[in-house]
Amino acid sequence: MDRITLSKGEGIILRSPASFSTVTGEVEVWGKIAEEASVLLEGVDLLITARVASTIDVNGHYTRLRDPIPPWWTSLPSYLVGKKALFLGRTDSGKSSSILYLANKITSSGDPVTLLNSDIGQSDLGPPGVISLKYLDFPVIHTKLLEPDFMYFIGDKTPIGHFLPMMKGILDALKESKTDTILINTTGFVDGGSARVLKSFKIEFTEPDIVIAIEREKHDLDHIIKNIPKEIEVKRVDSPVYGIKSQPYRIGARKALVRKYLQNGRIRRFKLENVCLKNTFIYTGREKSEYAPFLEDLLGVKVLWVEESPDMLIVLTEAPVNREKCIMMSNLLKKDVKIAPLRYYDGLYVGLLKGKLYAGVGIITSLSPKSGEIEVLTRYNGEVSGISFGYIRFNSEGEEVGRRRREYP
């Protein structure tokens, strides 16, 4: 344990797992007055600042900060009340930190706020790979410690290849908002043609009153800002960067969040005929086991499942198949051919639907089209009407162990 003395306005960034307690004076955590806090979840940064000269006891790794609160954090909260604000910025520009601090100051003044997180790669609200929404009417220690009120499952850590689901998820989330004050977080994906298109449509679809452009360097978001409609207010602000997060740190933080949503879970078994499978073509055709011997000779691998529909042939195998063989079969059969190793679905990240809404996440522990069953490790124990397949594979400890390729069914 370290005892730290802070002058008024000074602070520290304390990285979890960690705890602190106030000995003398008064401090804030992300703008929330707090005498103490303890966080076991890894990958949570606590910004502790002194309202007056203070002494605190700290357990955990920390970095001292002489002037941690940028001026715009102080001036913006009251201005944002009643507005829909979208935050733009590169990775590590401080979007999530700014939103957390501003939300705490807004709710401290008695105004509720809705947080919408669409940063699926480095989520500060809800599971990774998920667009999440949360209603707040009081300040909090950190949004990573909360449970979202609404989720829309994307199932990947990048928006590339998922623009339509991203837009659908954001629009569905906005429909669930209970407040006029809405703070929207976005990904750090800002460079290149695809990024420009995504940000442009995100602004068009969300119709913000104001865009907060957080710049790590002067003019580094000009290429996005210049395409924003003139009727939308744009406020450029400097990044409150406290140090670039390393790739291992980001991986560890994502792992901790996945583990949080699997912890104390159980394996649930579902009949494929009783649930709607989304974002996959598996189990949409008729079983054609009679094709297996011919396909095994052609592909040179053991075939575990074959199904056919008017537009597609789906083959699940014991081992990977060269992509060229898939193309050859497609040309031969005059229809789309999708081939994937069945074991590549083990550990696949999935979203669980209750009715039309996502209620939980999990990972596949067993997929058997032949027996018509799927098993999922999840902490969610309610009704499941559908299962949406993602693109990342995790083990039960939350470690990423592979990916589902785009060409797989």
DSSP for 99-116, please give it.
HHHHHHHHHHTT--EEEE
Is the predicted pLDDT of residue 57 greater than 90, yes or no? Answer: yes
User: CA of 218: how far to CAs of 17, 64, 69, 76, 241, in Å?
Assistant: 35, 26, 19, 20, 14
For 241, the 3-state DSSP assignment is: coil
Write out pLDDT tens, residues 371-408: 999 999 999 999 999 999 999 999 988 999 999 988 89
| For residues 268-284, average pLDDT | 96
Write out pLDDT tens, residues 73-121: 999 999 999 999 999 999 888 899 999 999 999 999 999 999 999 999 8
**Domain segments of the chain as ranges:** 2-65, 71-259, 264-409
Write down the pLDDT at residue 345: 96
**Dist CA 103 CA 136 (whole Å):** 8
CATH code for 2-65? 2.60.120.1030
**Would 2-65 and 71-259 be classified into the same CATH topology?**
no
Between 99-113, 150-164, 249-263, the lowest mean confidence (pLDDT) is in 249-263
**Dist CA 156 CA 169 (whole Å):** 13
Write down the pLDDT at residue 11: 95
Write down the pLDDT at residue 244: 62
Write down the pLDDT at residue 103: 98
Length of the chain: 409
| For residues 4-25, average pLDDT | 95
| For residues 303-326, average pLDDT | 91
Write down the pLDDT at residue 242: 66
| Cβ atoms within 10 Å of 151's Cβ, excluding its own | 24
Between 191-205, 292-306, 316-330, the lowest mean confidence (pLDDT) is in 316-330
Rounded percentage of the chain residues whose pLDDT exceeds 70: 99
Write down the pLDDT at residue 241: 67
Reading across the β-sheet that carries 113-117, which strands appear in turn?
150-153, 130-136, 113-117, 182-185, 84-89, 210-215, 233-238
DSSP 92: T
| For residues 256-260, average pLDDT | 90
Is the CA virtual torsion 254, 257, 258, 263 positive or negative?
A: positive
Task: For residue 158, give the H/E element and its range.
Answer: none
Write down the pLDDT at residue 102: 98
Task: Tell me the fold of 71-259.
Answer: Rossmann fold (3.40.50)
Question: What does the mean pLDDT of the chain come to?
Answer: 93
Write out pLDDT tens, residues 242-253: 656 667 777 888
Write down the pLDDT at residue 252: 81
pTM: 0.93
The more confidently predicted of residues 76 and 329 is 76
| For residues 292-299, average pLDDT | 89
